[in-house]
Structure 1
Amino acid sequence: MSVFSRGPARRRITGVIAMALVPLMVAVGVAWAAVTDNMFPTESTGSNCMVGFNPNHPTCQTDNREVYFYMDSNGEYELESEDQLTVNAAIDGEYRPTDLAFHYDSSPVFEGSAETDIIYQEGSTGLPDSLDGVTWCNAGGGTRYNCDQQYIRIRGNGIYSYKLVCHETGHAVGLEHGDYAIPMLNKTDSRLGCMTTPVQSNDLGSNNRENIDGTY
């Protein structure tokens, strides 16, 4: 795969740095403590956010640090009350402490230029038997590596867990599995926090927080 560039907000330390800037850049470098870069795009993913339902697509960044989300409240993919509580708990516990700002959107927008960023669903339609959840981009964002609206679908019947919400929400903001990371990690490496496959931990973990905060 070719090497692709990041968005302008991504904190990186590359090339030769003028002496006057060394103290500032060293401070930023110390703050970057991620074990691996598992934020889309990496050298292993390609740089284009792929639109459409496909469990095999790499996931995309969301298009703004202000993340508006909605939990499907009627029809085939409606979340039961306990699943809604699980989504809120995982967002409160794992994502609100990051540089992302999550807001519930009680009047979701499904088309146009200001769509609700993440739609949570409960259901198994389209999920391979090997997967308990999937995240996909429904509408591309303003750049080739981000998405205007993403869907998260997780099986019901007791499978809608805190750790799966942590995992799939990670995908919705661009976090990848260990085999897409640079340097590559085993998909079960505990340093990936709730982004391991299969998911073992409820904790987002420091590596993922560093990648989120370095991007948004």
Structure 2
Amino acid sequence: MAIKRRTIFVIGAASAALVAGTTVVQAALTDNMYPTGNYSPTCRDGDMGDTFCQTDNRTLTVYREGSLSSAEKNTISRAVKDYYGPTDLVVKIESSGTYRGDSETDIVYKAKTLARGKIGITWCDDAVTSRKCDQHYVAFNKDHTGIGSVNKSDACHETGHAVGLTHGPNASPALGLYDDRLGCMSYNDVYRLGANNKENINATY
């Protein structure tokens, strides 16, 4: 599959004057799609918590393992469909996971015991190029003491990593961890993907 080259445009104040009836597409505020000027490790097979990369194609297949509760599975499905469905990605929820071969499930969600206070972790399990990964894992903390169960913001955030979206400090130019202009990639509970994330996804896939 051909990879589009992403170009991030900055609209200057002098360009703000509009002709009546003209539609303007807002340019991305920052590049937070891996690799960026502030985050560019080589995509590789990793262990829990290691590097995330771009997913390997436009069709985004997802599977929710049995370690997740029914409510958590539903929340993940709704988040992926509601937030990523309107992008250029084609979202498909699978009833079973494919873990080997050339057509692995792109994102596999599970529940695991994580460090106290950690909500979720995303990592590449099968790198296919220096920037593309055939399968990412997303683990949510099954010890919900003091954390609460998975919500749509959590699911949106970890799914964002699995398609290559970074936190604010890894974006270029860098933003803060709590900058809500990065939608659910902010460290706040933000219940939307956000225009900047959508722009970067669509330019990539």
Using structure 2 for the length normalisation, give the TM-score: 0.84
Say which SS state the counterpart of residue 34 (structure 1) adopts. coil
1:154 and 2:140 correspond: yes
Instruction: Name the structure 2 match of 1:65.
Output: 58
Shift of 1:13: 6.6
Say which SS state the counterpart of residue 125 (structure 2) adopts. strand
Structure 2: runs of 5 or more not aligned: 10-23
Shift of 1:181: 0.4
Residue from 162, 168, 175 that aligns with 2:165: 175
Segments of 4+ in structure 1 off by > 2 A?
127-130, 156-159
How far apart are the structure 1 equivalents of 2:185 and 2:25? Answer: 21
How far apart are the structure 1 equivalents of 2:195 and 2:61? Answer: 23
Say which SS state the counterpart of residue 154 (structure 1) adopts. strand
How far apart are the structure 1 equivalents of 2:47 and 2:105? Answer: 17
Residue from 113, 117, 120 that aligns with 2:109: 120
Structure 1: runs of 5 or more not aligned: 1-6, 15-29
Query: What are the superposed Cα offsets for residues 55-108 of structure 1, whole Å, 9 maximum, x if unpaired?
Result: 2x44210000101110002xxxx1111111101110121010100011122232
Identity across matched positions, percent? 42
Using structure 1 for the length normalisation, give the TM-score: 0.80
Instruction: Name the structure 2 match of 1:87.
Output: 76
User: What one-letter code is carried by the residue in structure 2 that aligns with 1:149?
Assistant: Q
Query: What are the superposed Cα offsets for residues 141-174 of structure 1, whole Å, 9 maximum, x if unpaired?
Result: 2x21010000001123332111100000000000
Instruction: Name the structure 2 match of 1:20.
Output: none
Shift of 1:130: 3.9
Question: Is contact 1:59–1:137 with CA below 8 Å preserved after alignment?
Answer: yes
How far apart are the structure 2 equivalents of 1:107 and 1:36? Answer: 36
Residue from 29, 34, 39 that aligns with 1:40: 34
Say which SS state the counterpart of residue 44 (structure 1) adopts. coil
Question: Is contact 1:58–1:176 with CA below 8 Å preserved after alignment?
Answer: no
How far apart are the structure 2 equivalents of 1:13 and 1:190? Answer: 19
> How many matched pairs?
187
Q: 1:13 to 1:164 in 2, by over 3 A?
A: closer
Instruction: Name the structure 2 match of 1:203.
Output: 192
Indicate the RMSD between aligned Cα atoms, in angstroms: 2.0
